[in-house]
């Protein structure tokens, strides 16, 4: 007993240290994320304001030659009413000035904006200025005005400083931190806690830095170098973080002060809860040992009963189902169905509302199931939110109706109080028609449940033999994939991309084909989803990339023209920190310029992993790779993704183009989408172009590149090289 206590005490100590280290790392990630979020929000708002100002500039250019000053002033005044600008003005090269409101602007001010904008293309004041109307602090932005593609003046706007105050509050930390926008010399541009024009470094003059390498001097040096940093220090007995992140405007930095008390309090609560749970388990463990010694016979009987009862819900457990299944089935005369039921994404309930409320939901679900059991029927809680039911069965239609009503009652009676999150139940059903072991029935029911979870609407799926055949086929593919890769059964096919205006090939997309010998070619749709599930796609993607860069290197040696090749990558790479370094090493191994490789990511992948996708796209751009969004228009997230992520190319999905010949609205939507994409300076590629009518229409809308059977089918390397020779 003493030895066991010593071992357990040592284990608890090690566990406590481990929890402390994990919580410390999580704390740093949390505060860094809060600072990065504030910087990204500021950059996005400034970019949106600049885009709005450019839109106003394009509208103002229509007034050229700007002879009617009264009309011009009315136009500018109307624009201030519809946008976030307090004041708008135009200054032309010939000295004329138009203002949205009556105000006195110094000639040096307007001439300074004109000179700097003509030099840089855009203007952003380096510090706060005073609005001549009301004396309030503003930032000034400016963009060029053009006439016949030549700069003729500047449109400038006043942005109220108070517009940026909400994003200087760190909502992610309960508004207990704050941010400043500072120049690299430390001068405050925007902020409430420290007035504009003051030095932000006064906050750190009395700070005691935790890491030996950190100091006020090193922070200044890092900001001058444009570095991103997270500094840990103590000030007046309170632990704080300073997060530094360069902004995309001028030489500004987001200078975030992040007090850790709020996050540390939550972390300590979690740690103590965890420790209390461990202590409770140990207490129960020792209590059980004592009970075993003192009342062995009574305990044995209780343990026997406990083995067949779920302690949380009071329902039967899986052991009880296994024990009583045959007897219960016989009592139904064989007219029964086995149902596996669980709550879709139940983990979200635990994460949002805690395990205690999640457990109460499970208890209410068990109560609902008890109410719906008919004489002779039986159910158990298997694991977590998974329940198994043996129900009487007449026909599929009536049975489906019963399950729909059951799902509706669960949604109504078991939802977490005070939450808008509704429970969504999924059912897998096996209609018992043959005498087979229980575990085989259960496997088939789980197979149906997996399919039900992928359904929309009523998630009820009956087992079908086709599901079993599909599983067998998938297993055969998995059993042969490793050998196929080593044997070289996977090969690259290339589909040319052609310039819409000239018809000349300007690049290609790499596609994978699997040649199984006598069995012929396996369609990518038959093996890519399987590789996505088992992770083999990570190796296959890199294999295809190596084949592509090897071909590019060979073409250079043979004097053939090198053209950019697009390579598709799985969503699994987005969460792999080794992805970009591995890709870079592979391309550099063959001495291929990075701009010849274009990474294609599908719209669905980007939408479901937006934060990871944003980091990956930035990393690829830093390495010189271009990035295109594939399947644009296949979902509902395209516009939302476009406004947040920077792509070099957008590929219009083939289904996005279907039916435009007979649908005038479809044409307008496509034309508007292309015009919007091109206004962002992004190349538009149309895939699936199969008819001349499609090509003519897409060319007229302004699409840059075409890909499809009208121009060429995917071809093997030898046939593609014949195309390359024609380019010489």
Residue 208 makes CB contacts below 8 A (sequence gap 6+) with 233, 234, 235
Cα 395-398-402 angle, rounded to 5 deg: 130
Q: Which of 165, 141, 166, 168 is nearest to 155 (CA)?
A: 141
At 468, is the secondary structure helix, strand, or coil?
helix
Strand partners, 154: 91, 144
**pLDDT bucket at 639, cuts 50 / 70 / 90:** low
In angstroms, how far apart are the furthest CA atoms of the chain? 105
pLDDT range class, residue 301, cuts 50, 70, 90:
low
Domains along the chain with CATH numbers:
63-158 (3.30.450.20), 307-463 (3.30.70.270), 473-720 (3.20.20.450)
Q: What mean pLDDT is predicted for residues 451-470?
A: 84
pLDDT for 541:
93
Check whether 649 has a pLDDT greater than 70. yes
Q: Tens digit of pLDDT for each residue in 322-372? A: 999 999 999 888 789 999 999 887 888 887 778 888 888 899 999 999 999
Query: Which of 1-5, 264-268, 689-693 holds the top average pLDDT?
Result: 689-693
Look at residue 49 and tell me whether its pLDDT is greater than 80.
Answer: yes
- Element at 668 (helix H, strand E): helix 664-679
Question: What tokens does 1 get?
Answer: 């007993």
**More confidently predicted of 591 and 725:** 591
pLDDT-derived band at 15 (thresholds 50, 70, 90) equals low
More confident residue, 661 or 81: 81
Across 452-461, 586-595, 635-644, 659-668, least confident range? 635-644
Q: 460: which residues sit within 8 A by CB, 6+ positions away?
A: 400, 403, 404, 407, 426, 427, 429, 452
Check residue 417 and report its DSSP letter: T
Q: Classify each residue of 438-476 as buried b or exposed e, where b means 16 or more C-beta atoms within 10 Å of its C-beta.
A: eeebbebbebbbebbeeeeebbbbbbeeebeeeeeebee
Distance CA 577, CA 627 (A): 18
pLDDT of residue 29: 79
Whether cis (ω within 30° of 0) applies to the bond prior to 490 is no
CA 661-665-669 angle, 5° bins: 100
Does position 172 have pLDDT exceeding 60, yes or no? Answer: no
Whether 705 and 488 have beta carbons less than 8 Å apart is answered as no
What integer pLDDT is reported at residue 263 of this predicted model?
58
How far is it, in rounded angstroms, from Cα 646 to Cα 654?
22
**For residue range 222-234, what is the model confidence (pLDDT) as tens digits?**
888 888 888 888 8
Q: Give residue 558's pLDDT.
A: 92
Identify the band that residue 728 occupies on the pLDDT scale cut at 50, 70 and 90.
Answer: low
Least confidently predicted of 1-5, 122-126, 434-438, 661-665: 1-5
Q: At residue 401, does pLDDT exceed 60?
A: yes
Confidence band for 715, pLDDT divided at 50, 70 and 90: very high
Residue 485 φ/ψ region, left for φ over 0, alpha for ψ in the -120 to 50 degree band, beta for the rest: alpha
- Residue 608 pLDDT grade (very low, low, confident, very high; cuts 50, 70, 90): low
Say which residue the tokens 């000239």 belong to: 502
Residue 52 buriedness (CB in 10 A; 0-12 / 13-18 / 19+): middle
Across all residues in the chain, what is the average pLDDT?
85
Maximum mean pLDDT: which of 270-279, 569-578, 702-711: 702-711
Asked if residues 88 and 192 have their Cβ atoms less than 8 Å apart, the reply is no
Q: How confident is the model at residue 565, as a pLDDT?
A: 96
Structure token digits, residue 384 = 């977590």
The whole-number pLDDT of residue 165 equals 82
More confident residue, 37 or 113: 113
Task: Summarize the confidence of residues 9-38 as an average pLDDT.
Answer: 71
Residue 640 has pLDDT above 90, yes or no: no
């Amino acid at each position: 007993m003493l030895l066991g206590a010593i071992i357990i005490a040592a284990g608890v100590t090690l566990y406590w240290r481990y929890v402390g280290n994990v919580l410390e790392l999580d704390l740093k990630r949390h505060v860094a994320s809060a600072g990065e979020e504030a910087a990204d929000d500021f950059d996005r708002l400034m970019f949106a304001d600049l885009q709005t100002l450019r839109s106003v500039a394009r509208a103002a250019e229509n007034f050229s030659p700007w002879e009617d000053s009264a009309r011009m002033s009315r136009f500018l005044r109307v624009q201030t009413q519809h946008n976030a600008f307090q004041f708008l003005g135009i200054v032309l090269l010939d000295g004329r000035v138009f203002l949205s409101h009556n105000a006195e602007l110094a000639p040096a001010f307007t001439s300074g904006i004109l000179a700097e904008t003509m030099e840089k293309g855009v203007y952003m004041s380096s510090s706060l200025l005073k609005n001549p109307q009301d004396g309030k602090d503003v930032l000034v932005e400016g963009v060029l005005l053009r006439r016949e593609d030549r700069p003729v003046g500047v449109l400038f706007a006043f942005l109220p400083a108070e517009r940026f105050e909400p994003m200087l509050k760190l909502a992610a930390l309960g508004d207990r931190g704050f941010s400043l926008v500072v120049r690299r010399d430390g001068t405050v541009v925007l902020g409430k806690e420290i007035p504009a024009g003051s030095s932000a470094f006064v906050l750190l003059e009395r700070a005691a830095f935790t890491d030996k390498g950190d100091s006020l001097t090193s922070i200044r040096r890092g900001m001058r170098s444009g570095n991103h940093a997270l500094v840990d220090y103590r000030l007046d007995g309170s632990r704080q973080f300073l997060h530094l992140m360069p902004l995309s405007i001028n030489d500004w930095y987001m200078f975030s002060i992040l007090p850790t008390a709020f996050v540390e309090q939550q972390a300590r609560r979690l740690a103590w809860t965890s420790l209390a749970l461990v202590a409770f388990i140990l207490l129960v463990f020792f209590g059980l040992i004592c009970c075993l010694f003192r009342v062995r016979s009574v305990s044995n009987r209780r343990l026997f009963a406990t083995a067949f009862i779920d302690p949380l819900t009071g329902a039967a457990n899986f052991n009880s189902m296994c024990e009583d299944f045959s007897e219960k089935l016989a009592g139904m005369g064989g007219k029964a169905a086995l149902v596996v039921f669980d709550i879709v994404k139940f983990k979200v309930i635990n994460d949002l509302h805690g395990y205690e409320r999640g457990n109460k939901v499970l208890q209410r679900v068990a109560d609902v199931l008890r109410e719906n059991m008919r004489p002779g029927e039986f159910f158990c809680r298997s694991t977590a939110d998974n329940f198994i039911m043996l129900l009487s069965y007449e026909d599929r239609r009536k049975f489906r109706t019963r399950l729909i009503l059951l799902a509706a009652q669960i949604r109504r009676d078991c939802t977490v109080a005070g939450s808008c999150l509704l429970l969504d139940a999924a059912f897998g059903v096996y209609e018992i028609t043959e005498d087979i072991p229980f575990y085989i029935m259960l496997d088939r029911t789980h197979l149906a449940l997996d399919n039900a979870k992928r359904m929309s609407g009523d998630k009820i799926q009956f087992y079908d033999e086709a599901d079993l055949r599909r599983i067998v086929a998938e297993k055969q593919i998995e059993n042969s994939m490793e050998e196929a890769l080593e044997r070289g059964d996977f090969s690259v096919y290339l589909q040319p991309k052609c310039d819409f205006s000239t018809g000349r090939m300007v690049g290609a997309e790499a596609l994978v084909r699997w040649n199984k010998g006598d069995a012929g070619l396996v369609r990518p749709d038959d093996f890519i989803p399987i590789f996505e599930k088992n992770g083999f796609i990570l190796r296959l993607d890199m294999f295809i990339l190596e084949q592509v860069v090897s071909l590019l290197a060979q073409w250079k040696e043979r004097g053939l023209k090198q053209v950019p090749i697009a390579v598709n990558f799985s969503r699994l790479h987005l969460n792999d920190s080794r992805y970009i370094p591995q890709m870079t090493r592979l391309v550099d191994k063959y001495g291929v310029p990075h701009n010849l490789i274009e990474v294609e990511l599908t719209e669905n992948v980007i939408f479901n992993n937006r934060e990871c996708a944003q980091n990956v796209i930035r990393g690829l751009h830093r390495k010189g790779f271009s990035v295109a969004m594939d399947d644009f228009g296949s979902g509902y997230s395209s516009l939302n993704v476009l406004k947040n992520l920077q792509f070099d190319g957008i590929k219009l999905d083939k289904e996005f183009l279907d039916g435009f010949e007979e649908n005038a609205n479809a044409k307008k939507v496509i034309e508007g989408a292309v015009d919007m994409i091109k206004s962002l300076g992004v190349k538009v590629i149309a895939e699936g172009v199969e008819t001349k009518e499609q090509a003519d229409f897409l060319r007229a809308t302004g699409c840059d590149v075409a890909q499809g059977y009208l121009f060429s089918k995917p071809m093997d390397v030898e046939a593609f090289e014949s195309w390359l020779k024609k380019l010489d």
